[in-house]
Amino acid sequence: MKQLISAFALMFLAISASVLASQLNVKFAQFDINADGKISRIEAKKNDNLFKQFSDLDENGDEVLSEREFKQLKR
Ligand SMILES: [Ca+2]
Ligand SMILES: [Ca+2]
């Protein structure tokens, strides 16, 4: 019985991890209006919080946020 429970627990963990990951992807895609894999300053205007942090998030200073840079966003 215990084994069954831990199997369920593992499954639950795996599912919630993938849900979390897909939520992040959805968010990035929501902002990336032209789907070029980057968020421009204009696209970031959709969200005040993102727009305010834009310069801090843009580590390489190319005026767009990659998905990796976007993930540093503080909520
Ligand atoms: Ca874009
Ligand atoms: Ca950048």
Q: How many angstroms does the Cα of residue 75 sit away from the middle of ligand 1? A: 21
- Note the pLDDT of residue 49: 94
Q: Choose the CATH number for 2-70 among 3.40.225.10, 3.10.105.10, 1.10.238.10, 2.60.40.1080.
A: 1.10.238.10
Over residues 35-72, the pLDDT tens digits come to 999 999 999 999 999 999 999 999 999 999 999 999 99
Q: How many angstroms does the Cα of residue 26 sit away from the middle of ligand 1? A: 14
Nearest partner of 39 among 1, 72, 15, judged by Cα: 72
Question: Minimum-distance ligand to the CA of 70?
Answer: 2
Q: How many angstroms does the Cα of residue 69 sit away from the middle of ligand 2? A: 7
Report the first-to-last Cα separation within the chain, whole angstroms.
40
Question: Minimum-distance ligand to the CA of 63?
Answer: 2
